[in-house]
Structure 1
Amino acid sequence: MTATLEPRHIKVISRNRRVAGADPEKRHQILEGAHAVFTARGFDAASMNDIAAAANVSKGTLYVYFEDKEHLFVALIEREREKQKQGMYEALAEEPDLTLALTSFGTGLVRLLTGPFALSAHRIVLGVAERMPELGREFYERGPMQGARHLAAFLDQRVAKGELAIADTALAAAQFVDLSQSTLMRPRLFNALRTPPSEGEIAHVVGEAVATFMARYRRLPAKP
């Protein structure tokens, strides 16, 4: 006679079974394989077959986690981006000096944006955004928009402390982000410059961005 499962047993099985595509170790394994393939062959030459082989998973398993090569690449760059963003956010949270906090944030931002992997991600997303707008939106919301929101929240705190006078911190945050990457990001994005900017170049541009920002938004002491 075939045994039947009581409803309570079914609940236990469902609770202990991983949802398809939700195993963090398997996802990490796939991303490691993808990183090796993209680094060695570039995006265009890489295939899902290559990635599955490098990650030691079946192609079917690969598609359970990522629907296509574009989404896989965006997930990979988001993982790399998260590693660098933490240092940027820590500078905003832990540095008491306003000028130094903005300088650290701006420097980290430019290093991130002008790095080869981040540039490849931007080019790829821009290339497919018209036919895959949801991919472009996801990339923007988890990258540039998230960074600007963190900076805006930081500016709100400094406004509350009386250090800054800003009516629209979201706009001010976007302005600072644009100032920090001025003359550095676009030439790299369009491959007009093949190498990342030097630390000296980054320091100069970010320093000018901070000076411009502070000249506009620093709260001046009241006149006696």
Structure 2
Amino acid sequence: MARQTRKLEKSDPGPAGRFAAGEDPAKREQIIDGAKAVFMKLGFDAASMNDITREAGVSKGTIYVYFQNKEDLFGAIVAREKERITARMRDILAGSEEVEDGLYRFGIGFTTHITSPSVINAMRTVIGVVDRMPSLCRYFFNSSSINVRTVLDDFIKRHVSLGNLKVEDTDLAARQFIDMTSGTFFKFRLFGDLDDVPPRDEMDRTVKGAIRVFMAAYGNHDASVTAKTPEPA
């Protein structure tokens, strides 16, 4: 009787428990973590592959097995951070049954993230390389793939289908809400007018105000939808 074998997936270790060259996810994360620390400290231009090898604790040869160059490595950092915040926002919205509750938690969560020191440093780094790496900058700011905006768009569509909202252009509505809740804070942080994440009471006031505007524009008033924003913890 023929023996059945299972083809190894790309990230599966081989028979000896070892990954093929360039396929170990833990090693890849180790390199990305090291590179992120260097880029945040030195900036993209000043950072060298030697700096990254020291910080990551791997050889330069190992880095080149996983990444073609410094630009490729920076792109991997951007992609990973976008995936993480997108997953976090998706989880927040998945746990919210009420429109206003979901919007509130999304607004606070995203504003806290987008104004954090690590994100602001990354944004400044991206802006600094826009002339040399326009495709990366487009991916960072306006990717057509799944991102925070598309996750909010899906949430809005779900509540349109439930009859809680009336929205013709859900993508526009998602963009408007994101800008109302985080836009001003983000600009203040990016250009140095704020030294850290905004105070919680300021975020709370801004997000609740954005929800009132959003519901005035898109709430299904025929169904007597009323704003029910939760109090901050």
Q: Please classify the TM superposition score into its range, dividing by the shorter chain length.
A: 0.7 to 0.9
**C-alpha contact (below 8 Å) 2:83/2:147 kept by paired residues:** no
Structure-2 change in CA distance of 1:137 and 1:20 (3 Å): farther
**C-alpha contact (below 8 Å) 1:77/1:117 kept by paired residues:** no
Kindly state the Cα deviation for residue 141 of structure 1 after the two structures are TM-superposed: 4.8
Structure-2 change in CA distance of 1:115 and 1:213 (3 Å): same
**C-alpha contact (below 8 Å) 2:177/2:214 kept by paired residues:** yes
Instruction: Say yes or no: does 1:123 pair with 2:101.
Output: no
Q: How many residues align?
A: 211
Kindly state the Cα deviation for residue 130 of structure 1 after the two structures are TM-superposed: 2.3
Aligned-pair identity in percent equals 41
Q: Counterparts of 1:171 and 1:141 in 2: how far apart (Å)?
A: 14
Runs of 5+ unmatched residues, structure 2: 1-6, 225-233
Structure-2 change in CA distance of 1:143 and 1:29 (3 Å): farther
Kindly state the Cα deviation for residue 162 of structure 1 after the two structures are TM-superposed: 0.5
Task: Please give the per-residue CA displacement for 1:130-155, whole angstroms capped at 9, x wherever unaligned.
Answer: 22122112323559961111111111
What is aligned with 1:154?
155
Kindly state the Cα deviation for residue 27 of structure 1 after the two structures are TM-superposed: 0.5
Task: Please give the per-residue CA displacement for 1:149-205, whole angstroms capped at 9, x wherever unaligned.
Answer: 111111111001100000010111111111111321101111222222111111111
Structure-2 change in CA distance of 1:19 and 1:139 (3 Å): farther
Q: Counterparts of 2:118 and 2:83 in 1: how far apart (Å)?
A: 13
Kindly state the Cα deviation for residue 209 of structure 1 after the two structures are TM-superposed: 1.0
What does 1:30-179 correspond to in 2, within 5 Å?
30-38=31-39, 41-43=41-43, 45-141=46-142, 146-179=147-180
Segment of structure 1 superposing worse, 93-102 or 65-74: 65-74
**C-alpha contact (below 8 Å) 2:78/2:140 kept by paired residues:** no
Structure ID, larger Rg: 1
Instruction: Write the letter of the residue equivalent to 1:114.
Output: T
Q: Counterparts of 1:138 and 1:77 in 2: how far apart (Å)?
A: 9
Segment of structure 1 superposing worse, 50-59 or 161-170: 50-59
Task: Please give the per-residue CA displacement for 1:16-51, whole angstroms capped at 9, x wherever unaligned.
Answer: 595653321210121232344445x33255432121
TM-score scaled by length of structure 2: 0.78
Segment of structure 1 superposing worse, 65-74 or 177-186: 65-74
Q: Counterparts of 1:154 and 1:75 in 2: how far apart (Å)?
A: 27
Could you say what the CA RMSD is over the residues aligned between the two structures, in angstroms? 2.9
Q: Counterparts of 1:74 and 1:183 in 2: how far apart (Å)?
A: 26
Kindly state the Cα deviation for residue 82 of structure 1 after the two structures are TM-superposed: 4.0
What is aligned with 2:201?
200
Q: Counterparts of 1:70 and 1:167 in 2: how far apart (Å)?
A: 39
Q: Counterparts of 1:133 and 1:189 in 2: how far apart (Å)?
A: 19
Instruction: Write the letter of the residue equivalent to 1:139.
Output: F
Q: Counterparts of 1:108 and 1:214 in 2: how far apart (Å)?
A: 19
Task: Please give the per-residue CA displacement for 1:89-146, whole angstroms capped at 9, x wherever unaligned.
Answer: 1221121111010000111110111001111111111221222122112323559961
Runs of 5+ unmatched residues, structure 1: 1-10
Structure-2 change in CA distance of 1:72 and 1:143 (3 Å): farther
Segment of structure 1 superposing worse, 171-180 or 127-136: 127-136
Structure-2 change in CA distance of 1:56 and 1:148 (3 Å): same
Structure-2 change in CA distance of 1:76 and 1:222 (3 Å): closer
Instruction: Write the letter of the residue equivalent to 2:97.
Output: P
